[in-house]
Each structure stands twice: as structure tokens, then as C-alpha cells.
Amino acid sequence: MKIALAQLNYHIGNFEFNTQKIIQTLTEQKAAGADLVVFAELSICGYPPRDFLEYPEFIALCKQAALEIAEACEGIACIVGVPELNPVIEGKDLYNAAYFMADGEIKQVIRKALLPTYDVFDEYRYFEPAHEFKCVDYKGYKIAVTICEDLWNLGDNPLYKACPMDELIKEEPDFMVNIAASPFAYNHDEQRIVILSQNCHKYQIPLFYVNQVGAHTELIFDGGSLVFDKAGDIVSELKYFEEDVQIFDVGQVKSSIVLSENQERPSDTAQVHQALVLGVRDYFQKLGFKKAILGLSGGIDSALVCALACEALGAENVMAVLLPSKYSSDHSVKDALDLVKNIGCKHTTLPIAQVAAAFEETLAQEFEGLAPSLAEENIQARSRGVLLMAMSNKFGYVLLNTSNKSESAVGYGTLYGDMCGAISVIGDCYKTQVFQLARYINRNGEIIPENTIVKPPSAELRPDQKDSDSLPEYDILDKILFEYIELKKSSKEIIEQGFDVDLVKKVLNLVNNAEFKRYQTPPILRVSPKAFGMGRRMPIVGKYLF
């Protein structure tokens, strides 16, 4: 039997698009000799559909699409992910399910048992866990079909009390099929390979694993679908960050015959670069947007976002706006113009000195007798935000936010100023990662000017200002932030690593006190295992004694 793994890019709620993509793939793979085509988790509606699942019409459209796909399964079978109504009144109204389709109809329903409810996942909000398990029989093979998390309950600290495969293996299946929607983080591909390989080693049968690819606002899916032999060795690996469909002969996999050379997995920095480009491109394409705008300061953050946007959308669709203040240095303006020249995007210059002065004049009576402070600095940042949003409204541009994770973590940014935008491109990249990404973008020649990379970072909102005036050096700050945010270490544990006591307490205070700002920022493209946004849910008014 020949199995095609279909790693496709779906669009949440776009049933016509998803259905036609699935049917077209079925037609192509039938012509190529496949007997069974495997699609990703909730592929009919796209993952994650979130509260769309609460609308009865949405579920009805899912079923309608599934029946249309089933009609196309003549002379070929498929496994496709779909939300399914729970026929029992008790419990949640839906199952996260997979349909096995053949001979023009839905032959069998497989339901997900282990429902992730952590980090970015919230499946128990919608779905009832399965309690019954049965293999699929097709063309003389017995197939153990599971859905994503159902294979992840291994290790020293399992999240769930049972494993679906422990029940399915009792039927002596020939191989496993796992359909997934496994989002990208720069360390997740290694984790994924380890856990899937462990399943093969434990149950001593091969595994065909298919992931989706593409971005859905914050969440980016990297693909990287896999085939393992019964020993847990990789037989084949599909492409990362792009659609891919490959056919495999079950007999060869069971015999551990290597079908193709595995691709060399890119570095973490290269993966993050690919993920961010895909995240920007899909955000625009799936929302029907074409043109982006951003403020280009001459600093490394906006330079990196500009370069990523040009790669994702085409330089002709990116407008870079220089917004110099009375404190902007000549070299910052030159660095910004050098980037524009290197990259070929559109640009214009809108000085903000007069705009900021108008605000200050209006507030002169209220501020009389008070020394200049953060208020005047923020007026400049908000003046930039007003001008960028005016350009966005007038010309149909979508504003890209250029804040990095280090800034967002400690609140080093101005609400309704540099923190505004429709999508935060590098909001999950620490400043040290920003430098790495800039170097990576320049790997084949200078795109981001060298001076932009090597000069001390500055918001340029007061004379001779540098980020280091307010924050520790980024190589130290980012290490503390990583320990606290990603690794969830306490202040005591961080201090024991050798960091200064007062510095650790200051940084953690800044993180906790900036929560109200992060609640008002744009959605952030997630590339780490713990991003701000839907995956990190903290109270704004809570007091955490660290």
C-alpha cells in the first residue's frame, strides 16, 4: 500500500479553499498511485479555529465540506481532521476527530483523547476526550490512527493518565498514523522527533506523521512531517516552512528501507528567519492585505522588520517611513537610507519636530514649571504613531510593529506610539536574537547596514540617549529574562547563577509591572517555546512575591 503525506497550508474557516485544496491533492495523488492520503489535524476548518467552534453553522459547514471530500474518495482513501458533534448530551459538544474516508463515504471516525490545555493550546475548552479506540482496517493493513497530542504522553512526567496507543496496540496494528497541528518554536523540531521516535521504539511499529504548514496570526506551523521505521529511525522528512506531499510504500518502511536522503535541518536562527517570513506573508495573504508600512529609525529592530517584510511581501509592497526627531542623529538617517537603497523598498521622510512641538505647546500651561520628563519623550513616540496610522488609513497600508521581546518584557516602549501596529513581527525575539537574525540576513552580502548592527541601540528621544542608560546590557538582560520567562525560574534561582541581586529584582519587577502594556500590544509571531500573548497568561493586578 502507498501512503501520501499531504503537508498543506490551510486557512481557518475558509471552507471552499480548504476543501478544494484537499480534493485537488486527492486527485493528484490518486494519479500518482497513492492508496491513502493523510491530511493534518482539523484540516477541514484549519487549526486553531478557537471560538468559531461555538457556532453551530461553523460545525455544519465542516460536516458539509467533509461529505464533499468523501465523494472524491473513489479509488482512493483519506484521513482528514474535522470537528465532530458529540452525540451524547453529557460532556462537551464536540470531539476533535479524524474521518477515515473511502468508497465515497465516511467509513470510520477516530476521536482525539488527549486534549492539550497549556501554553497556546486550549482544546478542553471545546472538545470532549475520547475513551474508546479502534484501529482502521484498509487494504489488508490494520492502522492505529491518533491525533497529535495522543502520542505525546511519554516521558518521566506525563500530563495524562493514559495513552491511546496502549489500547490500540492490543489490536496488533501494522503501523501508526498521527495527524497533527504542531506549532513552531525554534526548539520544537528536535522535541518532536524525540517523542515520535520513542513511540516507535515503544510499540515496535512504523509511524507516518503529518503536520500542517503555514501561519495563523500568532501561531506558525513549520511542517516537517516525518516517517519512522519500527526502531524509531527517521526514514524520511518532508520540507520545512512550505507545502510538501510525498508518497511512501508501507512495505519499504516496514522493511526499514531508506526512501530518501533526509534534509539537513537548518540552524535555530535560520528556522526563526523562515518562520517570521512565513508569518508575515500568511498574515497578509489570508487577510487579503498587500502593502505594509513601518517606521524606519536607522536602528536594528526596524531594519530587521523591514528586511523580513520585503522578503515576505516584495520590496515594492513595503513603505518605510523615516520619522526623525530633533534628537535623531545624522548617522541614523543615513543608516535608514542605506537600508532602503540596499533593499529597494519605498520610503518617505516625515520629520516629527513640529508635530511634537505642537503637542508640547498645547500642554505648555498644564506642564508649566515642570522639568522635561518621560512625558515629552513619549509625545515624540506617539507623534510617530499618529503619522504612521494616518498613512495606514489613507493608503491602505498595514502597520508592522517593530518592538523586540526584550523591550516588551521590561516595558521599554510607548503605548500608542512605537508599540502600535497590526502584527508584531519580532516581539518574540530577544535583542540578542535580533542581532543574530541581522547577521543571518547579511549572510550573502550586506542588506542591513553594518553601522546599524554595531552602533549602541538608542530610542533617540532625548540628547545622547542609549538603551543602556535605562537597561542593563542586552546580553545580560536577555539571560535573566530567558530564565524568568521561558524557564520560569524564581529570583532566588536566578541570583544563585551569579547575577547581581539588585539587578535581578529590578528586571523581574519591570517584567511584572509591564503586564498592562503587553495586554494592549499587537499579536506577536510566536517563535519561542514561551511567547507573550496567548501562551503566557498573567494577571495584570496580581502581586507575585519573587
Burial (Cβ within 10 Å: 0-12, 13-18, ≥19) of residue 12: middle
Q: For the stretch 119-131, what's the b/e string if a residue is b when 16 or more beta carbons lie within 10 angstroms of its beta carbon?
A: bbbbbeebbbbbe
Does 428 appear as a known binding residue? Answer: no
Q: Is 148 marked active-site?
A: yes
Does 301 appear as a known binding residue? Answer: yes
Does 406 appear as a known binding residue? Answer: no
Q: How far apart are CA 392 and CA 395, in angstroms?
A: 6
Q: Name 247's Cβ contacts closer than 8 Å, sequence gap at least 6.
A: 2, 3, 4, 29, 32, 33, 34
User: For residue 345, how many C-alpha atoms fall within 13 Å in the half-sphere facing its CB?
Assistant: 34
Does 314 appear as a known binding residue? Answer: no
Peptide bond into 463 cis (omega under 30): no
Q: How far apart are CA 136 and CA 148, in angstroms?
A: 17
Active-site annotation holder among 112, 230, 431, 489: 112
Q: Name 49's Cβ contacts closer than 8 Å, sequence gap at least 6.
A: 12, 13, 42, 58, 83
The torsion angles phi and psi of 411, rounded to 5 degrees, stand at 75, 25
Q: How far apart are CA 292 and CA 283, in angstroms?
A: 11
Burial (Cβ within 10 Å: 0-12, 13-18, ≥19) of residue 254: middle
Give the chain's length.
546
Which residue type occupies 228? Answer: F
Does 23 appear as a known binding residue? Answer: no
Does 297 appear as a known binding residue? Answer: yes
Does 85 appear as a known binding residue? Answer: no
Assigned C-alpha cell, 364:
505648555
Burial (Cβ within 10 Å: 0-12, 13-18, ≥19) of residue 371: exposed
Contact 165, 198 (CB under 8 A): no
Give helix 300-313 / helix 431-441 axis angle, nearest 10°. 50
Q: Name 333's Cβ contacts closer than 8 Å, sequence gap at least 6.
A: 298, 322, 324, 349
In 3D space, the residue among 361, 18, 42 whose CA is nearest the CA of residue 180 turns out to be: 42
Other Cβ atoms closer than 10 A to 248: 21
Does 299 appear as a known binding residue? Answer: yes
Active-site annotation holder among 21, 30, 41, 84: 41
In 3D space, the residue among 334, 275, 341 whose CA is nearest the CA of residue 306 turns out to be: 341
Does 257 appear as a known binding residue? Answer: no
Does 361 appear as a known binding residue? Answer: no
Distances (CA, A) of 182 to 58, 301, 438, 480: 23, 28, 27, 28
In 3D space, the residue among 274, 120, 267, 246 whose CA is nearest the CA of residue 190 turns out to be: 267
Q: Name 494's Cβ contacts closer than 8 Å, sequence gap at least 6.
A: 480, 483, 484, 504, 508
Q: Is 200 marked active-site?
A: no
Q: Name 205's Cβ contacts closer than 8 Å, sequence gap at least 6.
A: 144, 169, 173, 174, 175, 176, 230
Q: How far apart are CA 88 and CA 20, in angstroms?
A: 32
Does 402 appear as a known binding residue? Answer: yes
Active-site annotation holder among 62, 135, 148, 420: 148
Does 172 appear as a known binding residue? Answer: no
Contact 141, 174 (CB under 8 A): yes
Q: Is 139 marked active-site?
A: no
How many separate helices (H) and strands (E) can be counted in the chain?
18, 19
- Which parts are annotated binding residues for ATP? 295-302, 402
- Which parts are annotated binding residues? 118, 182, 295-302, 378, 402, 407, 517
- Which parts are annotated binding residues for L-glutamine? 118, 182
- Which parts are annotated binding residues for deamido-NAD(+)? 378, 407, 517
Catalytically active residues are 41, 112, 148
